[in-house]
Amino acid sequence: MLQTLYDYFWWERLWLPVNLTWADLEDRDGRVYAKASDLYITLPLALLFLIVRYFFELYVATPLAALLNVKEKTRLRAPPNPTLEHFYLTSGKQPKQAEVELLSRQSGLSGRQVERWFRRRRNQDRPSLLKKFREASWRFTFYLIAFIAGMAVIVDKPWFYDMKKVWEGYPIQSTIPSQYWYYMIELSFYWSLLFSIASDVKRKDFKEQIIHHVATIILISFSWFANYIRAGTLIMALHDSSDYLLESAKMFNYAGWKNTCNNIFIVFAIVFIITRLVILPFWILHCTVVYPLELYPAFFGYYFFNSMMGVLQLLHIFWAYLILRMAHKFITGKLVEDERSDREETESSEGEEAVAGGGAKSRPLANGHPVLRNNHRKND
């Protein structure tokens, strides 16, 4: 039974064009071809990434946060209350009005005190500013290095300048060490993101992030199996070209350098729109959808790969909407902040001072700081 499933999974007609077999991709005459077994190394490498990330955040990102004066807001803690804590952990973090009234009777507190307790308790569970900064620092570092390395891998290749050469000789295209390591490192990193997603900062697009990571892992893995490596390197470098800009904008936002954050964000928005909504669909997708049909009939792998590319393109459109919405806020004089982040809840409506220190009273909060409007000048 298992052997039958194995044979069917690796059936050449699923992965390769007609009249080609796996035997055509066996190493010979000093030429090395991609193999599924090559990807086994990505799982231990993903665990290594998590270890490196831990020490990076501890010994690099944390001192950098102190250097950039990343400060935490003093949060008012919810006083111990077993009744409310049990409800919070088992039934929900935002009780309805009827539940508030019931909890008020059970705990001996007024309805307003119950609501205040839940606000404070939710704020306690929100990630700290330092955690957000360290996470952004790690991703910025990887994406920047990956983009530079990716460009070094592809910039001297003829298919970087002529998309039709992506399919020249396909699928009998040998790999070189730089392509191998570029693939292994990128795939390992996305595995590490998937492994750590439960402990990373939760954002409003949490589900979309999971879909993105899974689709990316499937795309990278499949493109290696089916020898779509030339197209794969172009796609990975294209994505890395804007990601490091977003992470750097987040870092400066958490540090309170609003003007620097806004300027980097504008650059990021321009690069994102050009790469994800112009180059990707009209150059890369055109390359993977149209050009292969000039060489061989469509097969399952062709449809599968382009379907996954379509999923990524839909996610890009969704994120472009969020980016444009933030850009609109910037243009209209509002603070540019990450639309995907949950805002800190304040208690100003009840006359409480939710922030420590003078001068910030009753002002809205974003990312643990009082909101600074764009007309506020800061030495960057």
pLDDT at 372: 40
pLDDT at 83: 87
pLDDT at 341: 54
Q: What is the DSSP string of 136-185?
A: HHHHHHHHHHHHHHHHHHHTTSGGGT-GGGGGTTTT---B-HHHHHHHHH
d(CA 105, CA 87): 14
Structural domains of the chain, ranges and CATH numbers in brackets: 29-67+128-332 (no CATH), 82-125 (1.10.10.60)
Q: What is the DSSP string of 192-237?
A: HHHHHTTTSPP-TTHHHHHHHHHHHHHHHHHHHHTT-HHHHHHHHH
pLDDT < 70 regions, the chain: 205, 333-380
Burial of residue 291 (number of CB atoms within 10 Å: 0-12, 13-18, 19+):
middle
d(CA 281, CA 278): 6
pLDDT at 205: 67
Helix, strand, coil shares of the chain as percentages rounded to 5? 65, 0, 30
Let me know: does 321 contact 228? Beta carbons within 8 Å. no
- Provide CB contacts within 8 A for 29, sequence distance 6+: none
Let me know: does 117 contact 79? Beta carbons within 8 Å. yes
pTM (global) more than 0.75 = yes
